[in-house]
């Protein structure tokens, strides 16, 4: 068979050449170089290359409204863009010096100890200490002569079981805790007191997904307040103890309550579409002679809507929190009132600047992805505290205008850098563990 093909090869070649010649235009066959080994048959194309035609795509231009949306972020974050380009330019050299290997692969959750440094301290965790879905962590931050915080937390059944449980123990020592007074228009003079917190809670939950989960909690809380002697002016030297309940007195309570998370999000850490609701109710009863009996409740709602694309997101957040003493209860200690701190902090004001029986925060953010996983953020916020719900007014709210950056850090947390301006000037904030 092979011998037959070899013998017929010249005939096949001549036939193919004949077919090619038949398909060529007359202008090609009349070329002087026709038959030369370097000759290439021209291809006739209708229309000129530079002319408009079916093979020429229409020019691609950004729409005017997209350019307007991008412009502020391009101007503000141009230095970040230059830094990113520098990193990209040096990426080839770095890869040659440090070739990818097992150490660069995405880590998986494996059983054993894990150590991670904090800003001033460290966190040690033991993954799967009681099987899949279990974690035991110890966090220690601070300095011996200043703030100190130690937290031990354990959980079992997280993400693998419809029912789980856990517990937490907390020691938080603040020798120079700031205090401005109680109320929405408290004096801007900062004073200091010593606050020490010792707390222990156990909880049980139902729901594999932490974004769709209900939890019940029982625990003890011991909080101590004293004048302190680290910094002046001391709160006890400026405020009358008759006007500030428990200014120099601690309180011990036991608590029980319930909390729920109900969310529908396309991404748990950087959502572009969906909503998240978080109601919570806790009841407190004193275990000492302070005669405290009060309820604390909190509701938070978040919403995420993409602006024509998922790399641009409009975000809304509303927080409403309050405490209600029962009949015959002693006044609620000032250090147990809702305050503008932690996740309820007012963007352009210092931590703990305002506190009262009611607290409300409303925020709108516009987020723009500038370089994965970094997002630019522009924010506007109103925050207020009041003795009762009827005394919350828009006229009395404290405004915040600002912006910053937000980025994913690993698979379970995000960080933020914010700069905002309010009635009392500029403030900056860096948070490495946020969920908003």
DSSP state of 335: G
Name the region of 230 (left: φ>0; alpha: ψ -120 to 50; beta: rest).
Answer: alpha
User: Domain range for residue 168?
Assistant: 162-434
Residue 383 to residue 374: CA distance in whole angstroms: 27
The answer to whether residue 428 sits within a structural domain is: yes
Residue 194: inside a domain: yes
Strand, helix or coil at 375? Answer: strand
CATH code where residue 348 lies: 2.40.160.50
Q: Cα separation of 42 and 27, whole Å?
A: 9
Helix (H, G, I), strand (E, B) or coil at 3: helix
Q: Mean pLDDT over residues 144-168, rounded? A: 92
Q: Long-range contacts for 25-29 (Cβ within 8 Å, ≥24 apart)?
A: none
Question: Which helix (H) or strand (E) covers residue 176, if one does?
Answer: strand 163-179
Average pLDDT over residues 43-67: 60
Mean pLDDT of 154-174: 95
The helix (H) or strand (E) run that includes residue 413 is: strand 413-422
According to DSSP, the residues that pair with 360 across neighbouring strands are: 320, 384
pLDDT at 98: 40
* Residue 319 located in a structural domain: yes
CA distances in angstroms from 359 to 197, 207, 427, listed in the order given: 22, 29, 20
Q: Give the integer Cα–Cα distance in Å for 365 and 223.
A: 35
Specify burial of residue 45 (Cβ count, 10 A radius: 0-12, 13-18, 19+): exposed
Tell me the pLDDT tens digit for each residue of 237-273: 999 988 899 999 999 999 999 999 999 999 888 899 9
Domain count within the chain: 1
* Lowest-confidence pick of 21-25, 197-201, 312-316, 394-398: 21-25
228 φ/ψ angles, rounded to the nearest 5 degrees: 75, 165
Residue 43's pLDDT band (cuts 50, 70, 90): low
**What pLDDT does residue 5 have?**
45
Contact 172, 191 (CB under 8 A): no
Six-digit token string for 277 = 């609701």
Work out the pLDDT band at 332, boundaries 50, 70, 90.
Answer: very high
> What string of H, E and C letters represents the secondary structure of 130-159?
CECCCEEEEEEEECCCCCEEEEEEEEECCC
CB 73 within 8 A of CB 368: yes
**How many C-beta neighbours within 10 Å does residue 241 have?**
12
Are the beta carbons of 364 and 279 closer than 8 angstroms?
A: no
Alpha helices in 222-290 (DSSP H): 235-238
Using a pLDDT cut of 90, give the percent of the chain over it: 57
Would you say residue 141 lies in a domain? no
Tell me whether the omega of the peptide bond preceding residue 233 falls within 30 degrees of 0, making it cis. Answer: yes
Q: Is residue 360 part of a domain?
A: yes
Which run of H or of E encompasses 73?
helix 64-76
Could you tell me if residue 47 is inside a domain? no
Q: Answer whether residue 117 shows pLDDT above 80.
A: no
Within-domain flag for 25? no
Asked, for residue 183, whether it belongs to a domain, the answer is yes
pLDDT per residue over 168-195, tens digit each?
Answer: 999 999 999 999 999 999 888 899 999 9
Please give the mean pLDDT across all residues of the chain. 82
Q: Taking the CA of residue 109 as centre, how many other CA atoms within 13 Å lie in the half-sphere pointing to its CB? A: 15
Query: What pLDDT score does 56 carry?
Result: 52
- 10, pLDDT greater than 70: no
**Beta-carbon contacts of residue 355 (< 8 Å; ≥ 6 apart):** 182, 334, 337, 338, 339, 340, 385
Q: Is 217:258 a contact under the CB 8 Å cutoff?
A: yes
pLDDT of residue 404: 92
């Amino acid at each position: 068979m092979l011998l037959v093909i070899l013998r017929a090869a010249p005939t096949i070649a001549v036939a193919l050449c004949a077919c090619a010649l038949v398909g060529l235009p007359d202008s090609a066959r009349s070329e002087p170089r026709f038959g030369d080994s370097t000759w290439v048959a021209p291809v006739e194309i209708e229309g000129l290359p530079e002319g408009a035609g079916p093979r020429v795509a229409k020019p691609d231009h950004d729409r005017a409204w997209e350019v307007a949306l991008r412009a502020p972020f391009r101007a503000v974050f141009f230095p970040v863009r230059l830094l990113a380009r520098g990193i990209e330019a040096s990426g080839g050299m770095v890869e040659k010096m440090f070739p990818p290997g097992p150490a660069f692969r995405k880590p998986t959750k494996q059983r054993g100890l894990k150590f991670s440094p904090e800003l001033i301290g460290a966190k040690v965790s033991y993954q799967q200490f009681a099987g899949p879905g279990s974690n035991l962590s110890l966090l220690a931050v601070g300095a011996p002569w200043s703030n100190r915080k130690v937290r031990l937390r354990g959980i079992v059944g997280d993400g693998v079981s419809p029912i789980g449980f856990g517990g937490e123990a907390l020691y938080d020592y603040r020798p120079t805790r700031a205090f401005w007074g109680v109320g929405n228009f408290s004096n801007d003079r900062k004073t200091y007191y010593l606050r020490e917190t010792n707390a222990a809670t156990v909880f049980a939950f139902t729901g594999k997904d932490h974004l769709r989960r209900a939890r019940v909690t029982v625990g003890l809380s011991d909080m101590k307040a004293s004048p302190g002697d680290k910094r002046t002016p001391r709160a006890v030297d400026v405020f009358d103890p008759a006007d500030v309940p428990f200014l120099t007195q601690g309180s011990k309570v036991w608590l029980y309550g319930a909390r729920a998370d109900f969310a529908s999000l396309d991404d748990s850490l950087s959502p572009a579409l969906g909503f998240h609701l978080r109601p919570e109710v806790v009841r407190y009863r004193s275990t000492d002679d302070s005669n405290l009996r009060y309820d604390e409740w909190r509701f938070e709602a978040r919403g995420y809507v993409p602006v024509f694309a998922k790399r641009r997101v409009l975000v809304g957040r509303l927080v409403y929190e309050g405490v209600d003493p029962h009949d015959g209860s002693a006044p609620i200690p000032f250090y147990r009132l809702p305050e503008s701190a932690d996740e309820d902090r007012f963007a352009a004001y210092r931590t703990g600047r305002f506190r009262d029986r009611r607290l409300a925060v409303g925020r709108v953010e516009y987020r723009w992805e500038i370089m994965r996983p970094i997002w630019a953020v522009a924010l506007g916020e109103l925050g207020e505290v009041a003795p009762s719900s009827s005394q919350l007014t828009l006229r009395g709210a404290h405004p915040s205008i600002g912006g910053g950056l937000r980025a994913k850090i690993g698979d379970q947390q995000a960080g933020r850098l914010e700069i905002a301006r309010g009635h009392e000037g500029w403030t900056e904030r860096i948070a490495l563990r946020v969920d908003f």
